[in-house]
A and B are shown apart, each in its own frame.
Chain A
Amino acid sequence: VQLVQSGAEVKKSGASVRVSCKASGYTFTDFYIHWLRQAPGQGPEWMGWINPKSGGTKYTQKFQGRVAMTRDRFITTAYMELSRLGSDDTAIYYCAIQVGRNAFDIWGQGTLVTVSS
C-alpha cells in the first residue's frame, strides 16, 4: 500500500496550487483519502477528505470555499487544490488513509508548497 505525491511547488500569493496523490497496492475505492498540512514548526492540521467511490467530500470549515478535493478513479489518483494562496499556506501537504482503524496509518511522502509574495 503506497501513496505517492507530486513534487514541491512555489507559488505567488493569490495563486492556486494542485497537489496529487497516486494510490497503489489496494483497491482505490476502499478508503477515504484525507488531506492534512503541516506548517513549519506546527502540528498537523486536518483539511478534509474525499470518498474515492462517490467523489463526495468533507472539508473543515477553515478551508470551505478555498479548497477542492477531487479524484480520478481510472488512474487511482486524488487531488487537492487550494486557491487564493497566502503566505500562511506555506506548509507540507500530506495525503493519508485509514486502513482498518480510525487512524492515519498510511501517509504520502508530503509535498512542500511555498507561497511567496
Chain B
Amino acid sequence: DIEMTQSPSSLSASVGDRVTITCQASRDITNYLNWYQQKPGKAPKLLIYDASNLEAGVPSRFRGSGSGTDFIFTISSLQPEDIATYYCQQYDNLPITFGQGTRLGIK
C-alpha cells in the first residue's frame, strides 16, 4: 500500500496568514493526488484534484502543487471559515489511501 504522510498534524495560524501543508507519498504517484477539507460532523469536501486543479466553486486562495512523491497545499490568506481538517489522498494505486490529516486552527 502507498503510505501518505502529512505534515504538520496540526497547526494554528492567524486570519490572513499564509498556511502550508505538505504530503509525502511512499512512492512516486505522478500527480494522482487530491486534497479534501473536512469540517466537524460533515463528509470530506474535494478542494484540489490531480495535485493542482481547483475544484469548481472552491475559492482561489486554495492552491495545490507538486508531483512524484512531494506535494504542497497552500491557503494564501487564511479565513475563519477555513478552520477544518485537511487530507491528501492518492489514487495512483489500489488501495486508495489518505493521509492522517492536518487539523487547522485559528490563533
Residues in A lying within 8 Å of B, measured CB to CB:
34, 42-46, 58, 60-62, 94, 96, 101-105, 107-110
Contacts and interface: CB of A to CB of B under 8 A. Distances in A.
Mostly helix, strand, loop or mixed at chain B's interface? loop
Given A104-B44, A110-B43, A43 B50 contact: no
For the side of the interface on B, what is the size category?
A: 20 to 34
Nearest to B99: A43
B95 to A, nearest CB: 4
Nearest to A3: B43
Given A46-B98, A96-B43, A102-B50, 9 more contacts: A34-B96, A43-B101, A44-B44, A101-B49, A102-B32, A103-B46, A103-B50, A104-B34, A105-B49
Given A43-B87, A43-B99, A45-B98, A105 B44 contact: no
A46 B96 contact: yes
Mostly helix, strand, loop or mixed at chain A's interface? loop
A71 B34 CA distance: 27
A44 B98 contact: yes
A105 B94 contact: no
Contact of B94 (A60, A103, A108): A60
A105 B35 CA distance: 11
B50 A101 contact: yes
| Shortest Cβ-Cβ A-B pairs, 6 listed | A107-B43, A46-B96, A60-B95, A43-B98, A103-B49, A103-B34
Contacts of B100: 42-43
Contact of A46 (B43, B46, B97): B97
Interface in B57-99: 87, 89, 91, 94-99
